[in-house]
């Protein structure tokens, strides 16, 4: 879909609901191809919007494989953030692991936006406290560049070239009660001379406590 031009400072839509649907379908197929099927694959969404995205991708993978469901859960990274000291009042999210756990599984982390990479760094630390996956892969709906850590996504819905000060906003029916959309807000916060990212963005590519966060395990976490 073409980017919708708007006045400076306004948000412009870069992905519509059908674009989001197509991207998730492609990611589902790419995960299956990379892993030669869905055996041992566990999807963990990172709250907030990574969770419904993981559920949607898992549903697509299951449908393709003729399975009823695939193991899917949520991984809260709040207590593993590296900026907790500056923002001590963050609300804890829920970590829900499928019944079979993550040991020796291929864990696919799912998030809506990949930016600095710090959320994913925190997710890897959170995973480390929960088990030892055979491999960890990363799927994101949008990679907007500007990485601050050596982290890259294995599966990308859309690479978006952005200026650092811009803000990519993902809205989903499950979390925002509006049709799916991805927008970029520009203008107001953008600094003069801020370069557009050049790190690969811009191309479409085919119940306990751990670390302070609540953890749930069990079959009910399988969807
Ligand atoms: O690569 P990074 O620089 O870490 O940025 C990406 C993260 O930022 C957003 O989460 P946010 O912390 O805004 O929380 P939310 O998902 O609850 O909106 C987004 O959902 C990613 O998880
Ligand atoms: O633009 C951004 C940066 C981080 N997280 C988002 O959701 N959007």
Ligand closest in space to the Cα of 166: 2
> Nearest ligand to the C-alpha of residue 90?
1
Question: CA 68, 138, 35, 54: dihedral to nearest 10 degrees?
Answer: 10
CA gap 130, 95 in Å, rounded: 10
pLDDT tens, the chain, 223 aa long:
545 554 556 899 999 999 999 999 999 999 999 999 999 999 999 999 999 999 999 999 999 999 999 999 999 999 998 888 777 677 788 899 999 999 999 999 999 999 999 999 999 999 999 999 999 999 999 999 999 999 999 999 999 999 999 999 999 999 999 999 999 998 554 444 445 555 545 443 333 333 333 444 443 333 3
* pTM summary value: 0.86
Ligand 2, residues at Cβ distance < 6 Å? 113, 115, 144, 167-168
Q: What is the ipTM, given to two decimal places?
A: 0.97
> For domain 12-83+90-222, is the CATH number 3.40.50.2020?
yes
DSSP 134-187: SEEEEEEEEE----SSS---SEEEEE---BTT-EEEEE-HHHHSS--EEEEE-S
Residue ranges of domains in the chain: 12-83+90-222
User: Which residue among 144, 170, 188 is best mutated to probe the pocket of ligand 2, counting the most ligand atoms within 8 A of its Cβ?
Assistant: 144
């Amino acid at each position: 879909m073409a980017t919708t031009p708007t006045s400076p400072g306004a948000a412009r839509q870069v992905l519509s609901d059908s674009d989001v649907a197509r991207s998730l379908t492609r990611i589902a197929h790419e995960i299956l191809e990379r892993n030669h099927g869905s055996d041992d694959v566990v999807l963990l969404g990172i709250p907030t919007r990574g969770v419904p995205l993981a559920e949607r991708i898992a549903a697509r993978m299951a449908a393709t494989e003729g399975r009823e469901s695939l193991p899917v859960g949520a991984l809260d990274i709040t207590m593993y953030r590296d900026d907790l000291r500056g923002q001590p009042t963050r609300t804890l999210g829920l970590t829900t692991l499928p019944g079979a756990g993550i040991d020796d599984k291929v864990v696919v982390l799912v998030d809506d936006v990949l930016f600095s990479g710090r959320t994913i760094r925190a997710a890897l630390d959170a995973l480390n406290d929960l088990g030892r996956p055979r491999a960890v892969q990363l799927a994101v709906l949008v990679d907007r560049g500007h990485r601050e850590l050596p982290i890259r996504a294995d599966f990308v819905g859309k690479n978006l070239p952005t200026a650092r000060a811009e803000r990519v906003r993902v809205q989903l029916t499950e979390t925002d009660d509006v049709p799916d959309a991805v927008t970029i807000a520009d203008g107001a916060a953008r600094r003069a001379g801020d370069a557009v990212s050049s790190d690969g963005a811009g191309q479409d590519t085919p119940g306990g406590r751990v670390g302070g966060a609540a953890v749930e395990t069990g079959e009910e976490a399988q969807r």
